[in-house]
């Protein structure tokens, strides 16, 4: 398949879960792919799995590192056709358990970092090009312990709309991709104290169709938003959530 043939694609948070599977699917569709992650070991493991990918160690919540990433990418590629801002902090806590440091870290990773990454990458962005920001169905529902996380995802989805209005004259489309509960390693990072199987059962009960999503299902949606097939899709939020946000 070649829906992304000769396109240059950057995926942040690409060492596991949705990001990793999206990198695999982008490669299968003909794209040249770069990924970021915070772990050198994780990046090297992905390079061994996927082969011909660029890897950059980068903390998605550090503005200076986002600017450095943009500079480094310019040294390797002539342009950028696709950005999937996928890296995220999924911390869930009850309101009384939050502290300023943890809150700031989550917001920096989920909204502040992506905002300044897009800014830094503008000189490299092609026309046309596609920016995909990773939202969440949590922005649409009132799930306990998700207050800060859901707020950050509502913010990034708002950014997709406002930046679409600002950037479409430059040929840049910005859209949100919002997963529902998805079976990835991130499930174990929610931090709500439940055991793995107990947590999965509790989350599964939230989904009208009765199961968790898969990283592949989200990656296929990302391929659509990255490809020219979605050229008329601008400033929207694509829900891939088993009906959580709609039913």
Distance CA 90, CA 242 (A): 19
Helix or strand or coil: residue 123? helix
Rounded to the nearest 5°, which phi and psi values hold at 150?
Answer: -65, -40
- Which residues are identified as catalytic? 149
Buried b (16+ CB within 10 A) or exposed e, 22-37: bbbbbbebebbbbbbb
Structure token pair of residue 84 = 């999937």
Give the strands of the sheet with 80-85, arranged side by side: 53-57, 32-37, 8-11, 80-85, 125-134, 172-179, 237-240
Instruction: Give the count of beta carbons closer than 10 Å to the beta carbon of residue 64.
Output: 10
Helix or strand or coil: residue 111? helix
């Amino acid at each position: 398949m070649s829906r992304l043939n000769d396109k240059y694609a950057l995926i942040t948070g690409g060492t596991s879960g949705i990001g990793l599977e999206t990198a695999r699917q982008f490669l299968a569709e003909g794209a040249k792919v770069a990924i970021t992650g915070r772990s050198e070991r994780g990046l090297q493991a992905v390079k061994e799995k996927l082969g011909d990918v660029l890897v950059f160690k980068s903390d998605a919540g550090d503005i200076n590192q986002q600017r450095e990433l943009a500079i480094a990418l310019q040294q390797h590629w002539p342009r950028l056709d696709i950005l999937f801002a996928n890296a995220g902090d999924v911390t869930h806590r009850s309101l009384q358990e939050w502290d300023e440091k943890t809150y700031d870290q989550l917001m920096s990773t989920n909204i502040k970092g992506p905002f300044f990454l897009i800014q830094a990458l503008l000189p490299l962005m092609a026309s046309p090009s596609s920016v995909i920001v990773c939202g969440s169905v949590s922005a649409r529902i009132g799930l306990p312990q998700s207050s800060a996380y859901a707020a950050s995802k509502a913010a990034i989805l708002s950014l997709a709309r406002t930046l679409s209005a600002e950037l479409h004259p430059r040929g840049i489309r910005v859209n949100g991709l919002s997963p529902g509960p998805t079976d990835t390693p991130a499930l174990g990072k929610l931090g709500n104290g439940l055991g793995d199987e107990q947590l999965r059962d509790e989350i599964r009960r939230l989904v009208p169709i009765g199961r968790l999503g898969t990283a592949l299902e989200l990656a296929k949606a990302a391929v659509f938003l990255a490809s020219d097939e979605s050229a008329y899709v601008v400033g929207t939020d694509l829900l891939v959530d088993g009906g959580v946000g709609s039913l």
